[in-house]
Amino acid sequence: MRDQTIDPENMRYRIRHTTTCTYTDEIQHAQHTLHLNPRLLPRQTFLVNKITIEPPPERLTEHVDYFGNPITYIAMATPHTKLLVQVDFEVEVTPPLDFDMSASPSWETIRDAIKFAPDQASRDANLFAFASTMIPPLPALAAYAAPSFTPGRPIGEAAFDLITRIYDEFVYDPVATTIATPLAEVLTTRRGVCQDFAHLAIGCLRSMGLAARYVSGYLRTLPPPGKARLIGADATHAWLSVWCGGDTWLDLDPTNGTRGSTDMVSLAWGRDYDDVSPMRGVLIGGGSQGLVVEVDVAPLDENPSDI
Domain membership flag for residue 288: yes
C-alpha gyration radius of the chain: 20
Q: Does residue 201 register a pLDDT over 90? A: yes
Q: What strands lie across the sheet with 236-243, from one edge to the other?
A: 258-259, 249-253, 236-243, 212-219, 264-270
Q: Are residues 107 and 239 in the same domain?
A: yes
Answer yes or no: do 154 and 297 share one domain: no
Number of domains in the chain: 2
Q: Is the pLDDT of residue 1 over 60?
A: no
Q: 191 and 58 in one domain? A: no
- CA dist., res. 208 & res. 156, Å (int): 14
26-40, 59-73, 158-172, 211-225, range with the lowest pLDDT: 211-225
Q: How many CB atoms lie within 10 A of CB 135?
A: 26
Shared domain check, 105 and 82: no
Q: HSE (CB half, 13 Å, CA atoms) of 66?
A: 7
Whole-model pTM above 0.85?
yes
| Across 257-284, average pLDDT | 94
Calpha distance 202→135 (Å, rounded)? 8
Dihedral sign of CA atoms 251, 252, 255, 257 in order: positive
Task: Give the Cα separation of 241 and 226 in Å (integer).
Answer: 34
Between strands 171-172 and 191-192, the pairing is parallel
Q: Is the pLDDT of residue 187 over 60?
A: yes
For residues 240 and 198, what is the distance between their CA atoms, to the nearest angstrom? 6
Q: Are 142 and 207 in contact (CB under 8 A)?
A: yes
Evaluate whether residue 213 is within a structural domain: yes
**Mean pLDDT over each residue of the chain, to the nearest integer:** 91
Q: Is 20 contained in some domain?
A: yes
Tell me which residue of 160, 167, 145 sits closest to 102, measured CA to CA: 160
Residue 113 forms part of a structural domain:
yes
Q: Is residue 71 scored above 50 in pLDDT?
A: yes
pLDDT at 259: 94
Distance in angstroms (rounded) separating the CA atoms of residues 198 and 219: 14
pLDDT of residue 302: 58
Q: Are residues 225 and 287 in the same domain?
A: no
pLDDT at 70 over 90: yes
Span 151-177, mean pLDDT? 97
Letter for the amino acid at 69?
N
- Assign residue 248 the CATH number of its domain: 3.10.620.30
Tell me: do 243 and 201 sit in the same domain. yes
Q: Is residue 119 part of a domain?
A: yes
pLDDT one-digit tens code per residue, 100-142? 999 999 999 999 999 998 899 999 999 999 999 999 999 999 9
Q: Are residues 285 and 244 in the same domain?
A: no
Q: Please check whether residues 230 and 295 belong to one and the same domain.
A: no
**Shared domain check, 120 and 253:** yes
Whether 262 and 217 have beta carbons less than 8 Å apart is answered as no
Identify the three-state secondary structure at position 220. Answer: coil
Shared-domain flag, residues 262 and 288: no
Tell me whether residue 138 is in a domain: yes
Q: What pLDDT is attached to residue 7?
A: 56
For residue 40, the domain's CATH number is 2.60.40.2250
What's the pLDDT at 286?
82
**Is 48's pLDDT higher than 90?**
no
73 and 214 in a single domain? The answer is no
CA separation for the pair 20, 86 (Å, rounded): 8
pLDDT (0 to 100) of residue 9 = 83
In 3D, which of 48, 19, 94, 28 has the Cα closest to residue 306? Answer: 48
285, 267: one domain? no
Mean pLDDT, residues 295-303 taken together: 80
Confidence of residue 227 (pLDDT cuts 50, 70, 90): confident
Residue 307 lies in a domain: no
The C-alpha angle with vertex 123 and arms to 117 and 126, in degrees rounded to 5, equals 95
CA distance 268 to 100: 26
pLDDT at site 5: 46
Q: Is residue 209 part of a domain?
A: yes
Domain that holds residue 124: 101-275
Cβ contacts of 132 within 8 Å, gap of 6 or more: 271, 272, 274, 275
